Chains A and B, each alone.
Chain A
Amino acid sequence: MSPEHRRLGLAALLALGAATLPFWAADQYQLHLATLIAAYWVLIGGLNLVVGYAGQLSIGHVGLLSIGAYGFAILAGKAGLHPALAVAASGALCGIAGLLLGLPSLRLPGFYFAMATMAVALIVGEVVLAQGELTGGGVGLPVPGFPAPFDSPAGFYWLTAAAAAAVTWLTWNVARRMQGRGLIAIRDSVVTAQAVGVPVLGAKLRAFVFSGVCAGVGGSLFAALQSYITPDTFHFELSLFFFVCIIIGGRGGILGPFLGVVVLTALPELVSPLAKLGNFFYGLLLLAVVLVVPEGIGRVFELVAARLKPRPVESVPVQPDLPRLARALRSNR
């Protein structure tokens, strides 16, 4: 079975497990956890295109999560919009925020840009606290739920899981086609990207806008799940968590970061000493990955598989087939 088939098989299995989860989850707590993972993935799946594919060091996405969450809470709660409309509006608002977040990325080199995104996250926090009338300030806001059939825990889980599946499908489409290759070129060799004609800023911005919309939808679902949000819910460490999931899972993949989210969310819940360590654990894991397997844990599996099934890389001399080349060059003018 080729690695591609193996991955698709695993994905199919996960999808099956995810679809039937409310039936085999041990208790409400596990269902809640699964819903949380799904909501995170709605954001992280979108962020994956920005961080994992385009290679942009955005560590400020908790700010977008916050805008999405507060947007939903205000629109669906205070303004009384139908939750579906509120999610859509929240997504659109965050899409614009994503655009603004990505704009400096052309002018600012790596570290500068990362700091700018961190600042954006802190600014969002400041604004939320300051605009007390709108956002409830430090006290926070209650968040309305969704109407039936999504008002039960299982129902809401399926809604969130569907959103997560949609994001997965959208990013998978982009990743395996030319657009995805263009983003990878931006990440690994901007000079090459330019040479083949990729509009670097435009492509980055599209990825940022997409990640913004995903953050808006994810934030709305996240808020509805929490049913009450305060500024403390959106601490900067959450941004780090999103970023780390992708790096640990492996840039340039989708399954890897997804497993990253699952493991990093579930692990502290299930292994309580780890919960106490909290972010120390994330930091340690990130450091270990960066030093030992910078391409992420997903790559580790590939390397292990290659070890187990050794295929010697034969040194075959380069032997052009000039008639075939001539035919290929002729076939388009």
Chain B
Amino acid sequence: MSPAAAAAVQPGASLRAVAVTRRFGGITALDGVSLELRPGEVHGLIGPNGSGKTTLLNLLSGYYEPSEGAIALGNEPLERAPVQRRARLGIGRTFQKPRLLPTLTVLENTMLGAWPHARAGFVETAFGLPRAAREDQAARSRATELLHGVGLGHALARRANLLEHAEQRFLEIARALAARPRFVLLDEPAGGLSTDEIDHLGGILGTLREAGIGVLLVEHHTDFVFRVCDRVTALDLGRMIREGTPAEVRHDPEVIRVYLGA
């Protein structure tokens, strides 16, 4: 997040959804759901299709506003904050279907993620003032490190539209990390990944946890979620049915009914 934002939010602050409800026309996608994402914690969000997982993620990241309830980062209310403001406050995300800039390279796509740290504006950049070049260089080296870190070091100069599916997913994660986020919200990052790739993803999530980043993991792969998460929230038809440790959630009778009975 940007230096100014870092000063504004106290360390250790959680990203919270408090009793949020979201309606679309006549449909209630989320009904009174609360969730707390703490720094240094991997929090899983599971539920069948239509349970409201992505809606909740969109509410936290700012693409929707809640019909009722509150979104907050620490003490700072966020319901009205647009997506860009949340990015500056250190909330990053990936998408269910990877959204990349196809004509740019992997490295350039990742560097884009460092936007909140680019202070040099349009005029300053146009006139070739040194700050823009400096920031670009810093973004480039950081992006290089991140890409090697997630396993894309071999593809730095490749155009993004030539990437395989797993590479696209990992690129999105690297891009989210380029902004030095406090929180990363991942929308079904394991979708379409092989077993090995899912293991790698788990390793990356562990590293994020150790770095003190709060990770929200929206996923269908329930085994994976129970394996890597510290806490899990289970949704069904827009309502929260259980929140707790993986062990608690996986043995909850309601959760079992929803997943096995469905």
Contacts and interface: CB of A to CB of B under 8 A. Distances in A.
Interface of A: 169-171, 173-174, 176-179, 181-182, 184-185, 188-189, 191-192, 194-200, 203, 206-207, 210, 252, 295, 313-322, 324-333
Given A174-B126, A178-B118, A320-B203, A329 B177 contact: yes
B16 to A, nearest CB: 20
A169 to B, nearest CB: 7
Nearest to B150: A320
Interface residues on B, range: 35 or more
Interface stretch (B45-53, B132-140, B245-253): B132-140
Contacts of B100: 189, 192
A38 B217 CA distance: 54
Contacts of B158: 313
B100, B114, B116, B149: which has the most chain A beta carbons within 10 Å?
B149
Given A177-B133, A179-B125, A331-B142, 18 more contacts: A169-B128, A173-B125, A178-B111, A178-B118, A178-B139, A179-B121, A185-B101, A185-B112, A188-B102, A194-B63, A197-B88, A252-B103, A316-B155, A317-B196, A320-B170, A322-B206, A325-B204, A326-B207
Contacts of A184: 101, 103-104
Given A195-B87, A317-B196, A181 B203 contact: no
B175 interface: yes
B24 interface: no
A181 B112 contact: yes
B219 to A, nearest CB: 18
B122 A320 contact: no
B84 to A, nearest CB: 5
B221 interface: no
B179 interface: yes
Contact of A332 (B84, B113, B152, B180): B180
Interface in B166-210: 166-167, 170, 175, 177, 179-180, 196-197, 200, 203-204, 206-208, 210
Contacts of A324: 145, 148-149
B61 interface: yes
A134 B197 CA distance: 70
Given A189-B99, A325-B146, A328-B142, A318 B116 contact: no
Contacts of A333: 180, 212
B141 to A, nearest CB: 9
A325 B150 contact: yes
Contacts of B153: 321
B92 interface: yes
Nearest to A191: B99
Contacts of B227: none
Interface of B: 61-63, 82-84, 87-88, 92-93, 95, 99-104, 108, 111-116, 118, 120-122, 125-128, 132-133, 135-136, 139, 142, 145-146, 148-155, 158, 162, 164, 166-167, 170, 175, 177, 179-180, 196-197, 200, 203-204, 206-208, 210-213
Nearest to B145: A328
A189 B104 CA distance: 12
B88 A321 contact: no
Given A178-B120, A318-B197, A328-B149, A196 B208 contact: no
B84 A197 contact: yes
A182 B115 contact: yes
24 contacts: A177-B136, A178-B125, A181-B104, A181-B111, A181-B115, A192-B100, A194-B82, A195-B92, A197-B83, A199-B84, A210-B122, A313-B162, A314-B154, A317-B197, A320-B151, A320-B170, A322-B203, A322-B204, A324-B145, A325-B145, A326-B210, A329-B149, A331-B145, A332-B180
Contacts of A313: 158, 162
A182 B113 CA distance: 10
A198 to B, nearest CB: 6
B200 A319 contact: yes
Nearest to A320: B151
B136 A194 contact: no
B208 A329 contact: yes
B125 A321 contact: no
B62 to A, nearest CB: 8
A194 B58 CA distance: 12
Contacts of A176: 136
Contacts of A191: 63, 95, 99
A177 B135 CA distance: 9
Contacts of A330: 211
Contacts of B61: 195
B150 A196 contact: no
